[in-house]
């Protein structure tokens, strides 16, 4: 019996669950325009995992990176949820560098 | 080079994406929610069994992640139905289960209120509907 995958699966579920929290809080305080930075960080973590030895180190980097990349595509919808009033709306967000440029891009949503 | 992180990342991203789309689509058309719940639960348990059985850590990781995600998706069918009841996700009038929910829960709607770009300002419920229907 190899318990690595099952344990990693359960840990992954919690990392994805953490995604719900940071997408909601992150959007509220910082806004959805941070999405390219979050996506970039996720991709960097996945690339970094290629150069880490062992099982748990690279696996957790990969899962966390993928969860960040997915969450970056959820930020836009979360912004709309807050505007509708399903979540608290914060009018004073800490915008990212180049926010004006990013606003012209179409934020991804899968 | 270690590819276990990449395998775990691809398994995580694709299974979240698959679950996100599949739960919504299946709940939308399925007359019952117990049937998809059971099918997803069996698929999840089967994949966990594969994951326990293989000595290959890369496969064990991928099956383990996809299996647990499918088990979570099994629960999401009920959570998705609750979103329909609250009007947070669009109902399907062709689906007899949704038609019943429309009679029982006043908040049920066929409009997807999230299908637009953000405006960076709070909007009333009436405005939120207008933003979707009048464009």
Express each pLDDT in B24-83 by its tens digit: 999 999 999 999 999 999 999 999 999 999 999 999 999 999 999 999 999 999 999 999
Provide the ipTM: 0.95
Helix, strand or coil, per DSSP, at residue B131 = helix
Please tell me the predicted confidence (pLDDT) of residue A56.
96
Q: In this complex, which of B2, B51, B67 lies closest to A52 when CB atoms are compared?
A: B2
pTM for this predicted structure: 0.95
Express each pLDDT in A58-109 by its tens digit: 999 999 999 999 999 999 999 999 999 999 999 999 999 999 999 999 999 9
Contact criterion met (CB below 8 Å) for B64 and A8: yes
Q: How many CB atoms lie within 10 A of CB A51?
A: 11
Rounded to a whole number of angstroms, the distance from the CA of A10 to the nearest CA of chain B is 7
Alpha-carbon Rg for chain A, nearest whole angstrom, is 16
Q: What is the mean pLDDT of residues A38-57?
A: 97
Are B52 and A6 a contacting pair at CB < 8 A?
A: yes
Q: Using the predicted structure, report yes or no on whether residue B1 has a pLDDT greater than 90.
A: no
Contact criterion met (CB below 8 Å) for B86 and B107: yes
Binned at pLDDT 50, 70 and 90, residue A110 comes out as confident
Are B60 and A5 a contacting pair at CB < 8 A?
A: yes
Contact criterion met (CB below 8 Å) for B27 and B82: no
Rounded to a whole number of angstroms, the distance from the CA of B32 to the nearest CA of chain A is 26
Chain A segment 67-86 residues within 8 A of B by beta carbon are 67, 69-70, 76-77, 79-86
């Amino acid at each position: 019996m190899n318990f690595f995958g099952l344990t990693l699966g359960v840990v992954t579920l919690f990392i994805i669950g953490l995604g719900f929290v940071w997408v909601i809080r992150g959007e509220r305080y910082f806004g959805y325009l941070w999405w390219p930075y979050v996506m970039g960080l996720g991709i960097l973590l996945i690339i970094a995992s290629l150069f880490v030895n062992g099982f748990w180190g690279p696996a957790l980097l990969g899962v966390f990176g993928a969860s960040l990349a997915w969450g970056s595509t959820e930020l836009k919808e979360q912004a709309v949820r807050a505007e509708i009033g399903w979540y608290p709306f914060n009018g004073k967000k800490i915008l990212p560098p180049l926010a004006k440029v990013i606003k012209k891009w179409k934020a991804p949503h899968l | 080079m270690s590819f276990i992180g990449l395998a775990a990342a691809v398994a995580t991203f694709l299974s979240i994406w698959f679950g996100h789309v599949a739960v919504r689509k299946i709940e939308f058309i399925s007359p019952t929610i117990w049937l998809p719940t059971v099918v997803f639960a069996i698929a999840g348990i089967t994949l966990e069994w594969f994951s326990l059985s293989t000595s290959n850590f890369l496969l064990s990781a991928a099956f383990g992640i996809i299996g647990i995600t499918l088990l979570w998706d099994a629960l999401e069918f009920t959570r998705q139905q609750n979103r329909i009841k609250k009007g947070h996700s669009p109902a399907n009038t062709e689906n007899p289960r949704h038609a019943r929910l429309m009679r029982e829960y006043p908040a049920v709607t066929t409009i997807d209120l999230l299908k637009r770009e953000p405006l960076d300002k709070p909007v009333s419920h009436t405005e939120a509907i207008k933003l979707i229907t009048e464009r």
